[in-house]
Structure 1
Amino acid sequence: MSSNSRRNSKETLKHLAQYFEECTGLTAVHGVQYIGDRKRTWFERLIWAVIVTTSVSVCTKFVLQTYHKWQNAPVYVTIGTALVPIHDIAFPAITICPETKSNSSVYYYPDWIGRAFDKDVEISRVDRLKFEYISMICNRTYASSNFTQQKFDADIHNFLYNITPRFEDTFTNCQFANLVENCSEIFTPIFTREGVCYTFNALDRSKLFQKDVYQFSDFHQLRKKMISPYPRRAVSSGVTGGLQVELRAFVKDMDYRCATALQGFKIIVHDSSELPTQTHNYLRVPLNQAVFAALSPEVISTKKNLESYSADLRQCYFDEEKDLSHFRYYSRSNCEVECLGYLMENILGCLDFYLPRANISTPICGATQLEHIRMIERILATYISNTTSLNSRLEELLLKLIFDVAQSEELVEKSATICNCLPSCSSVEYSFETTQSDYYWYYFEGHKEYKDREYRSLINIHFKDAYYIPMQREEMFNIHFKAYAYYIPMQREEMFGSMDFIAYTGGLLGLFIGFSFISLAEIIYFLTLRIVCNAKLFGRKMWYGNPNC
């Protein structure tokens, strides 16, 4: 290096040092002026450099923690203090599934189970087909090697419907809001995993499903034109303000081989816009028992200003964010049904008999597929319970099954999208408390002679309180995806907005280093405008400032 180059380098370093001293001497950031003050000792300047560096490091750590919290947990749910009457929300849909699967005079499962599984006994193809039909709603734990049918056609629906105990024999008395109702007009038949069930206060199939979804007979169809508003609402709390149904089962129809040792009725409580599934809250009503269930609604909505956050951050979908193929309204439950159907159709080439299907020609899974169906259901349950690593977890579980059935990366990727079933941003759930007692119906009605040949059960479902606690009382508005209006008792809000982040960060910067907006402006000034102005005032070579100062 030449002597001129060394001289120029020394001059540049000297000018930088001079400019740094001027900058630190004028800045409003506390402590920095002592570092650049050449009149102080090196020890003092070193101590202040350590102090300022430590403060900046600690402040940076806290700011990064705040930023991480802002990015990863920006939403929280609060509970309000105002009271909202329960008639401002819809009464839930109530689905009743008898544990008795068949009318013994039409088809008695115990008579056929031994013959069907005995290799030395020959039965006709029609009888074997009927047995495999009913095996789809009976105990599904029997080995699939005992069955022969891989696919069913739509006849399974006719068979299951025809062997089900007659509706008028099962439902003997219905009341809503203390008014007697015709049970056949307020309940509609539907297919669930339990077989034929009956649902009250659910949306009509024209509003629940997309137009191209295949419908069996009059299932999911309201029996009469309901008065507005619908779904129904409770006008009061307590046992007189809810739904009360008396149910009957006959001794001759009891079948402990098809179902389980738990006889009676399964009651599923769900939203009117949802298909009842195993994931919903349900309760059991034993035979000759009266069960009273007091409901507490848990309603959550989300403010529109959270639309700027991703669904994964706010942990919910707005109704326009995720469309479903078979349902008109998004909910986590409906999404899970579609996910289950997609996995079955693309892995097994068929659907379980109760799942919605857009094409009537889509095969129904036969009894030989029960083992694979159970595996897919376990995959879905495991996937949903591991929401921290959705895609990788689903891929791992799917591949265990796909390698035995089919291999498709596209299936894994699309399944991860379809099966990402976050809650709806506006949803309602129902928790309940139950009480139970013996039901001496035969004494009350004076029919002791019926005691030994039939059972009666009573279920009463009502709101526990006349009011519930909302987070915020707002003007009632129509939530499109639910097809009815809500007052909002709980609501997702921002944990940290942009202004909250700025205020929090500014507080930390001010606390540790006395930094403010003016301090930032000074730094920018010294790095840009002051250099330009110095060059203009003193010449380009004097960019570092007045040499006489």
Structure 2
Amino acid sequence: MIVGDVNIETNRLKKKDSTKKNNFTTQLKDYFTEYSENSGIHGIKYLGEQNRTISEKIWWFIALLAALYLCVTLIIRTYQKWESSPVIVSFATKETPIWQIPFPAVTICPETKSLPTAFNYTDMLYKKLQNRPVTEDEELKFSYIASLCTYHPELTYNLNDFVDAENMFEFLEKVSPKFLENISDCFYMGHAYNCSDIFTPIVTDEGLCYAFNLLNREDILSDTVLHYNNYHSLTKYRAEWSLEHGYKNSAGKNTYPRRALHAGALFDFELKIQTLDNELDFTCGSSIQGYKIQIHHPAMLPRVKQQHFRIPLDQAVIAATMPTMIQTSEAVKSYKPERRQCYFPSERNLKYFKIYTQQNCQIECKTNYTLKVCGCVDFYMPREKGTKICGAPLKVCMQEAEDQLLSEGIETNIRHVQGLQVKNDILHQTINKCDCMPECTSMTYIVENSQSEWDWVRKYQFDPEYSQFNKSKMHMSYLQVFFKGNQFITSERNELYGPTDFLANFGGLLGLFTGFSLLSSVEILYYLSLRLICNIKLYGIRYWSGKHE
């Protein structure tokens, strides 16, 4: 009897457990059926129908999976596009008048670095090439000029590796052409100006040059940078313009840097340059005599050796310019610089410059790398107190440093693209710190040049000032710079996909393939939480699905 009672009790418990399992399964099916009947998501209601065949449910299950697969794939592609290229450059909706931007800065560099009457570089070069004896003073002065001229690797120097900056620039200023005395008839916007008042001497990679409409050195270079004499100094001008914000609201018509008030050749910047025939030197640089010109915006330190056009002797050169400007919308500022591929001035501080531009960054990078490799910098590079200037014996080191900087920078970028490990020694760390992306607000000037022979002898044949000269004794050149149009179209960096656009695309794809909406997610959350709790309160834990006898 005892054994029989045990068997009866065991069967009763098994039946009770089975009933519980069947009850939970039934409740789950009922709950899912109720959800599928009310859900707005396509295909779900067919899966919840209880009186349909299994083949129909498999059909709709496969269809729902295919739709979800296509939907998720397209959403991932949209996200990758948003992540990799969130910024697009497009044209502005209206044109910008030229008076809102400054007239370009014009930097002029004479091809002759040393007047033969002051220091004959040609004679000294041939003495060195023929190993003829020279004095220590001649060797030192020759090395100063050689820093500006074509490099001759076969020459040797019995000098120290470093030079005294003050002595070097004092000598270069003494022997260089008297540019401010040789220019005349300077006009701007139809008004005559004293040429010496509007040009300032500046040290570039071409030596001693002269700039018009350039910002003062205190507005471009850091306070720790050493300056030479009065170079690049504009004590009577105060800048009321910045590359990022443009002109101040308080800036009037006659401000600095000078505005471009009108377009056309009648409202130009022009000048004439006289050059005596006995002042020419054909061995320092190229055999092309005349002047190198760079046109750039006023906040950029010129690099005339890399970007220039020429004013030959006895030629009239006309440069018609058209500005191109890229601005960045406020919405893009929230993106990291790596994503928008540009820097705002407040995001990137330079050691030697107050203003971030891509070219200023490249100059600083080259300066730091040359200092690391050679222990000194070139004469035109910005430097702090205690930094040495490389002399002619270290010309090879400086050239190798520049070549290595360019080649290693390209190699580093290639290794990044290929996913390879980048070298991490001290020199490569210096290169990696460069990161000279464009500035978010950039401005350049597209120049269209034309030139022709200028028979200035006939033009001034009755002018007593020029009647005593002819082309065998003196040369004259003419430069004219003006804007082509009164308006130009700017470009602007805007969001390709903002958060709102991405959300709209995301929701559009979900709605297209599945009918999913924001309320669908609320509905799912409701069925998984609040409805369950309310069913239990209304019908008890046994009937949590809401179905009861």
TM-score of the two chains, using structure 2 as the length reference:
0.85
Other structure's SS at 2:477 match: strand
Shift of 1:38: 3.3
Cα 1:142/1:14, change in 2 over 3 Å: farther
Other structure's SS at 1:493 match: strand
Match of 1:69 among 58, 74, 81: 81
Aligned to 1:402: none
Is 1:435 the counterpart of 2:450 in the alignment?
yes
Aligned to 2:359: 333
Shift of 1:324: 1.8
Shift of 1:333: 1.5
Q: Distance in 1 between matches of 2:306 and 2:48?
A: 68
Whichever of the two has the greater Rg, that structure is 2
More displaced stretch, 207-216 vs 217-226: 217-226
Residue-by-residue CA offset, 1:469-488 (whole Å, 9 max, x unaligned): 3xxxxxxxxxxxxxxxxxxx
Does the Cα contact within 8 Å between 2:122 and 2:283 map onto a contact in 1? Answer: yes
Cα 1:430/1:409, change in 2 over 3 Å: same
Cα 1:460/1:223, change in 2 over 3 Å: farther
Residue-by-residue CA offset, 1:432-465 (whole Å, 9 max, x unaligned): 1111111111211123742112222111111111
Aligned to 2:535: 534
Aligned ranges 1:303-452 → 2 under 5 Å: 303-359=329-385, 361-381=386-406, 409=425, 412-413=428-429, 415-417=431-433, 419-446=434-461, 447=467, 449-452=469-472
State the AA in 1 paired with 2:63: I
Q: Distance in 1 between matches of 2:369 and 2:22?
A: 73
Shift of 1:80: 2.8
Cα 1:382/1:495, change in 2 over 3 Å: farther
Other structure's SS at 1:199 match: strand
Aligned ranges 1:184-195 → 2 under 5 Å: 184-195=196-207
Cα 1:4/1:495, change in 2 over 3 Å: farther
Does the Cα contact within 8 Å between 1:188 and 1:220 map onto a contact in 2? Answer: yes
Q: Distance in 1 between matches of 2:284 and 2:320?
A: 31
Cα 1:9/1:317, change in 2 over 3 Å: farther
Aligned to 2:285: 259
Residue-by-residue CA offset, 1:179-237 (whole Å, 9 max, x unaligned): 22211111111111111110001112222222221110110012755894100112211
Is 1:113 the counterpart of 2:125 in the alignment?
yes
Cα 1:362/1:302, change in 2 over 3 Å: same
Residue-by-residue CA offset, 1:493-539 (whole Å, 9 max, x unaligned): 22211111111111111111111111121222233333333333343
Shift of 1:272: 0.9
Match of 1:465 among 485, 501, 513: 485
Cα 1:13/1:257, change in 2 over 3 Å: farther
Residue-by-residue CA offset, 1:103-151 (whole Å, 9 max, x unaligned): 1111122211232244x43323322222222111101363576675422
Aligned ranges 1:433-512 → 2 under 5 Å: 433-446=448-461, 447=467, 449-469=469-489, 489-512=490-513
More displaced stretch, 126-135 vs 193-202: 126-135
Q: Distance in 2 between matches of 1:110 and 1:514?
A: 84
More displaced stretch, 89-98 vs 514-523: 514-523
Does the Cα contact within 8 Å between 1:191 and 1:197 map onto a contact in 2? Answer: yes
Is 1:133 the counterpart of 2:144 in the alignment?
yes
Q: Distance in 2 between matches of 1:46 and 1:104?
A: 96
Aligned to 2:521: 520
Match of 1:33 among 14, 34, 45: 45
Q: Distance in 2 between matches of 1:214 and 1:5?
A: 94
Aligned ranges 1:287-306 → 2 under 5 Å: 287-306=313-332
Cα 1:413/1:181, change in 2 over 3 Å: same
Shift of 1:275: 0.6
Shift of 1:178: 2.2
Cα 1:386/1:511, change in 2 over 3 Å: farther
Other structure's SS at 1:450 match: coil
Cα 1:329/1:390, change in 2 over 3 Å: farther
Does the Cα contact within 8 Å between 1:281 and 1:431 map onto a contact in 2? Answer: no
Residue-by-residue CA offset, 1:275-308 (whole Å, 9 max, x unaligned): 1025975322222111111111112222223221
Q: Distance in 1 between matches of 2:79 and 2:413?
A: 20
Cα 1:379/1:531, change in 2 over 3 Å: farther
State the AA in 2 paired with 1:425: C
Other structure's SS at 2:509 match: helix
Paired residues, number? 515
Q: Distance in 2 between matches of 1:192 and 1:517?
A: 62
Cα 1:278/1:225, change in 2 over 3 Å: closer
Cα 1:128/1:15, change in 2 over 3 Å: farther
More displaced stretch, 249-258 vs 339-348: 249-258
Q: Distance in 1 between matches of 2:32 and 2:306?
A: 68
Q: Distance in 2 between matches of 1:16 and 1:378?
A: 73
Does the Cα contact within 8 Å between 1:383 and 1:390 map onto a contact in 2? Answer: no
Shift of 1:379: 4.6
Q: Which runs of 5+ in 1 are unaligned?
A: 400-407, 470-488
Q: Distance in 2 between matches of 1:71 and 1:312?
A: 11
State the AA in 1 paired with 2:546: N
Q: Distance in 2 between matches of 1:330 and 1:84?
A: 24
Cα RMSD of the aligned pairs, angstroms, is 3.0
State the AA in 2 paired with 1:271: H
Does the Cα contact within 8 Å between 2:31 and 2:546 map onto a contact in 1? Answer: no
Cα 1:353/1:6, change in 2 over 3 Å: farther
Does the Cα contact within 8 Å between 1:317 and 1:423 map onto a contact in 2? Answer: yes
Q: Distance in 2 between matches of 1:14 and 1:256?
A: 102
State the AA in 2 paired with 1:124: T
Q: Distance in 1 between matches of 2:169 and 2:401?
A: 22
Other structure's SS at 1:293 match: strand
Cα 1:132/1:45, change in 2 over 3 Å: same
Aligned to 1:84: 96
Other structure's SS at 2:70 match: helix
Does the Cα contact within 8 Å between 2:128 and 2:155 map onto a contact in 1? Answer: no
Q: Which runs of 5+ in 2 are unaligned?
A: 1-12, 239-252, 462-466
Is 1:197 the counterpart of 2:215 in the alignment?
no
Q: Distance in 1 between matches of 2:525 and 2:511?
A: 18
Does the Cα contact within 8 Å between 2:373 and 2:401 map onto a contact in 1? Answer: no
Does the Cα contact within 8 Å between 1:301 and 1:490 map onto a contact in 2? Answer: yes
Percent identity of paired positions between Structure 1 and Structure 2: 33
Q: Distance in 1 between matches of 2:414 and 2:347?
A: 21
Shift of 1:421: 1.7
Residue-by-residue CA offset, 1:60-112 (whole Å, 9 max, x unaligned): 11111211222222222222343332122111111001111111111122211
